[in-house]
């Protein structure tokens, strides 16, 4: 659905409108991403392959650029582990075939570290200007690049300050100023339109996606280990999914990511002991945590994607060390193998069962609408419930369906109770007169709309009654209804109306 929300603007707005107008459904994306995807749409059309081409290219390029980065930080075994995680983690693969900016932000982080290892020892004015120029360009393609850029430069500044290397520290201001100027220019021209979104803050705050600081209660304290566990699973894909039973003990053994968590902290400790690049790797996290504590950046699932290369480097560094000091030759590869077992198993599983690929992130809009289109008869009417209109409108504009659906109105805010709500819906259903069959399409996963207060109005979101289940009860009074398409989120019911 997030892809539908963003793509709705990409297919109908021109370059100027993408730069000057608010995107549909309160969506946000860097202007560089919007313009590149829009260029591809203008060249090759509005199908999903074209829309997802730029993220796919970013995901592929990330693998190649990450190689010299990890070669700088790690020994050969660590390089294998790092590239293996990036290449095999199912969530990272998913975001590389999704029309959102997360794959671009992943690439931006890797590029910034590639620039770091290339230019950090060059002290000439032209080299520093070139470093700053590339930083300035990257900032237009990634919001989160600011965290990496600010953290990297702060870490470098602290390093030069400790060593009292004043000349190098002064010259570092060249890429710093170019990066800051680019950020401020981008903010004034484009990003400021998205900076204040009270509903977005309300939504993520309700679901506890911001880091609670300082933690004030038990729930706040539980946020930290829960967030750590979830980021190991998503986006790093390092949890084992082999065991599917109910034994609590076996779940703790096979599903809790003991080894990745240990490697994460052990790798952090190894970089701290070496001192060489510790601050450069640490400060981006500090800025991210600060932004989350101020409720400027949520931390869950996809929002960890951009910083996952740093997490991978910490984990791979520990795997590298463990293989170096293993007791015997047969054990030296044990930790790397155990680390890669999770993402490898996940990738193979989804290769065999593609319909299960990151299922909670997927929507089956096109499949449902194509199902209806292939069975649509003259005289039928298609009714799309209000909670699935974004998906229908996008595909109606991009696919030549035989039908034009009736778009259901959202009467929740003008109704005082569910009977009153059904009375208003009856105004829509008057269009069914004279029809024999109605195709009802609704979303059984999203029960709210962009901008809604969560679980409001209360009479609509009763805890013991699913809103769409109650809708089906009402449709059963109109005639015989038969569920004919049932996916993860989109449901289709064929209603044969009563003669009267």
Best CA proximity match to 112, nearest among 95, 94, 137: 137
Block residue for tokens 């609509």: 460
Mean pLDDT within 369-379: 96
| CA-wise closest residue to 310 among 354, 346, 268 | 268
Rounded CA gap, 352 and 355, in Å?
9
DSSP string of 159-173, one letter each residue: HHHHHT-HHHHHHTH
Q: Is the pLDDT of residue 244 over 80?
A: no
Tens digit of each residue's pLDDT (9 = 90 or more) over 191-200: 877 666 788 8
Burial of 190 (0-12, 13-18, 19+ CB in 10 A): middle
pTM metric for this prediction: 0.94
What is the percent of the chain where pLDDT is above 70? 97
Least confident residue range of 80-84, 86-90, 234-238, 428-432: 428-432
* CATH of segment(s) 363-497: 3.40.50
- 332-370 residue pLDDT tens: 788 999 999 999 999 999 999 998 999 989 899 999 999
**Tokens 């309160």 correspond to what residue?**
26
Question: pLDDT by residue (tens digit) across 255-276?
Answer: 788 999 999 999 999 999 988 8
Phi-psi region of 258 (alpha: psi -120 to 50; beta: other; left: phi over 0): alpha
CA-to-CA dists, residue 95 to 109, 200, 234, 304, angstroms: 15, 21, 11, 12
Q: Mean pLDDT over all residues of the chain?
A: 92
Closest C-alpha among 141, 291, 311, 289 to residue 234: 311
Q: Where are the domains of the chain?
A: 52-355, 363-497
């Amino acid at each position: 659905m997030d892809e539908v929300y963003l793509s709705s603007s990409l297919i109908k707005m021109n370059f100027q409108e993408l730069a000057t107008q608010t995107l549909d459904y309160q969506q946000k994306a860097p202007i560089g991403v919007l313009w590149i995807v829009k260029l591809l749409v203008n060249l090759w059309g509005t199908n999903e392959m074209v829309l997802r081409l730029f993220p796919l290219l970013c995901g592929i390029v990330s693998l190649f650029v990450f190689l010299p980065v990890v070669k700088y930080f790690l020994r050969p075994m660590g390089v294998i582990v790092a590239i293996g995680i990036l290449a095999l983690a199912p969530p990272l693969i998913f975001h590389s075939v999704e029309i959102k900016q997360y794959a671009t932000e992943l690439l931006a982080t890797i590029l910034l570290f590639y620039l770091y290892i290339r230019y950090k020892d060059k002290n000439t004015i032209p080299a520093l200007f070139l470093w700053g120029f590339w930083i300035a360009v990257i900032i237009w393609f990634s919001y989160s690049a600011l965290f990496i850029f600010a953290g990297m430069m702060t870490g470098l500044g602290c390093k030069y300050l400790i060593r009292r290397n004043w000349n190098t520290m002064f010259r570092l201001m060249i890429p710093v100023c170019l990066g800051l100027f680019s950020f401020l220019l981008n903010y004034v021209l484009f990003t400021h339109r998205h900076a204040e979104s009270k509903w977005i803050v309300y939504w993520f705050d309700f679901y506890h996606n911001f880091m609670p600081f300082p933690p004030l209660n038990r729930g706040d304290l539980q946020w930290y280990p829960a967030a750590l566990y979830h980021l190991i699973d998503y986006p790093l894909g390092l949890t084992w999914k082999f065991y599917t039973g109910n034994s609590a003990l076996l779940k703790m053994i096979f599903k809790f990511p003991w080894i990745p968590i240990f490697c994460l902290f052990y790798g952090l400790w190894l970089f701290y002991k070496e001192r060489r690049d510790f601050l450069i790797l640490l400060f981006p996290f500090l800025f991210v945590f600060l932004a989350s504590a101020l409720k400027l950046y949520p931390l869950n699932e996809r929002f960890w994607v951009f910083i996952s290369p740093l997490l991978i480097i910490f984990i791979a560094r520990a795997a590298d060390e463990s293989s170096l000091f293993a007791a015997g030759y047969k054990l030296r590869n044990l930790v790397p193998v155990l680390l890669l077992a999770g993402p490898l198993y996940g990738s193979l599983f989804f290769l065999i069962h593609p319909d299960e690929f990151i299922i909670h992130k997927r929507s089956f809009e096109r499949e449902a609408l194509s199902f209806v289109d292939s069975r649509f008869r003259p005289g039928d009417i298609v009714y799309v419930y209000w909670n699935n209109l974004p998906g229908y409108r996008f595909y109606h504009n991009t696919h030549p369906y035989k039908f034009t659906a009736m778009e259901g109105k959202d009467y929740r805010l003008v109704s005082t109770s569910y009977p009153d709500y059904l009375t208003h819906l009856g105004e829509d259903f008057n269009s069914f007169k004279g029809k024999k069959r109605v195709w009802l399409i609704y979303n059984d996963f999203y029960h709210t709309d962009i901008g809604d207060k969560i679980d409001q109005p209360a009479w609509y979101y009763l805890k013991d009654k699913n809103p769409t289940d109650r809708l089906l009860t009402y449709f059963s009074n109109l005639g015989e209804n038969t569920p004919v398409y049932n996916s993860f989120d989109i449901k289709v019911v064929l209603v044969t109306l009563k003669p009267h």
